[in-house]
Amino acid sequence: MFNIFEIVWPRLEGEPSIYEGYLPEDTDISDGNIDVSVEMAKLMYEKQKDRVSTIESKSSIYLGFFGAVVAILAFSLKDILFVQNKGVVHDVTLFFGGILIIYILQVMRYSIKALERRGYHSFDETDFLHGDKRKTAISLINKVKKNYDVINRKVEFMTMAHEFAKRIIGMLYFAAIGMIFTSSGKYVLSIPDVNLAISAITINLRWSDYILGMLSVLVIIIVLRVRKIEKKFRATVRHPL
């Protein structure tokens, strides 16, 4: 049940990570390795900055793109709301559009969280004016490590935005399939009704019954495949490699 809920509505699990693997102030660094340590510490800092820039760039793209999509959907749903002849298709369309907007708002929400200003540890003159290269290397490395938790939190928010974006793509696939079925309905209507007489029972099969039968077979196949995957997973858990 939890796996089904997770497919529909992904969520962050557990508490934010807390990194504690800092270097002690008295960490021994050989004289021949001090200069390399300082350069590598600066490289670590630059890599983390690039990581933050990448996350924030993706978040900005998500915000801009899905913001435009929300505006288009709102305009479309406005027209659907004022349709004179309302039926099942009207209600299904509104339901689908509402869920789609909720997913899009979740993408934008997590993208905004990924863009929020955070408290970063940066370099200053106290890291190098003392002239002790060993102390400088340790100080730089520890400041990079102190940013791990903040950056990892940004990554988690970006991951959640990506997960909801995948759900949106999945919904659009279903919508496209529904549009194909709807547009080809007039051709399916040309299929003649079949009357089957079994003893005293007469069964009338219409075009909608054909579609229902196909969907039933598809559901059965999916359930069987899910159960097969579940059995493999349980076997792996019980007998790990």
All structural domains of the chain with their residue ranges = 11-183, 193-241
Question: What pLDDT does 241 receive?
Answer: 43
220 versus 27: which is more confidently predicted? 27
Does 198 score more than 50 pLDDT? no
pLDDT beyond 50 at 201: no
Higher-confidence position of 187 and 194: 187
> What residues form DSSP beta bridges with 196?
203
Average confidence (pLDDT) over 17-29: 82
Binned at pLDDT 50, 70 and 90, residue 89 comes out as confident
**Contact yes or no for 101/70 (Cβ under 8 A):** yes
3-state secondary structure the chain: CHHHHHHHCCCCCCCCCCCCCCCCCCCCCCHHHHHHHHHHHHHHHHHHHHHHHHHHHHHHHHHHHHHHHHHHHHHHHHHHHCCCCCCHHHHHHHHHHHHHHHHHHHHHHHHHHHHCCCCCCCCCHHHCCCCCHHHHHHHHHHHHHHCHHHHHHHHHHHHHHHHHHHHHHHHHHHHHHHHHHHHCHHHHCCCCCEEEEECCEEEEECHHHHHHHHHHHHHHHHHHHHHHHHHHHHHHHHCCC
Tens digit of each residue's pLDDT (9 = 90 or more) over 132-142: 788 888 888 88
Which of these ranges, 9-13, 66-70, 227-231, has the smallest mean pLDDT? Answer: 227-231
**pLDDT on residue 220:** 66
pTM: 0.68
Residues 46 and 143: their CA atoms lie apart, in Å, by 12
pLDDT, tens digit, 9 for 90 and up, residues 28-56 = 888 888 888 888 888 888 888 888 888 88
Long-range contacts of 121-128 (CB under 8 A, 24+ apart): 121/146, 121/147, 123/45
Residues 102-131 pLDDT 10s: 999 999 999 999 988 877 777 777 767 666
**% of the chain beyond a pLDDT of 90:** 5
Tokens of 158: 């970006």
**Average pLDDT of the chain?**
75
**Is the pLDDT reported for residue 237 higher than 50?**
no
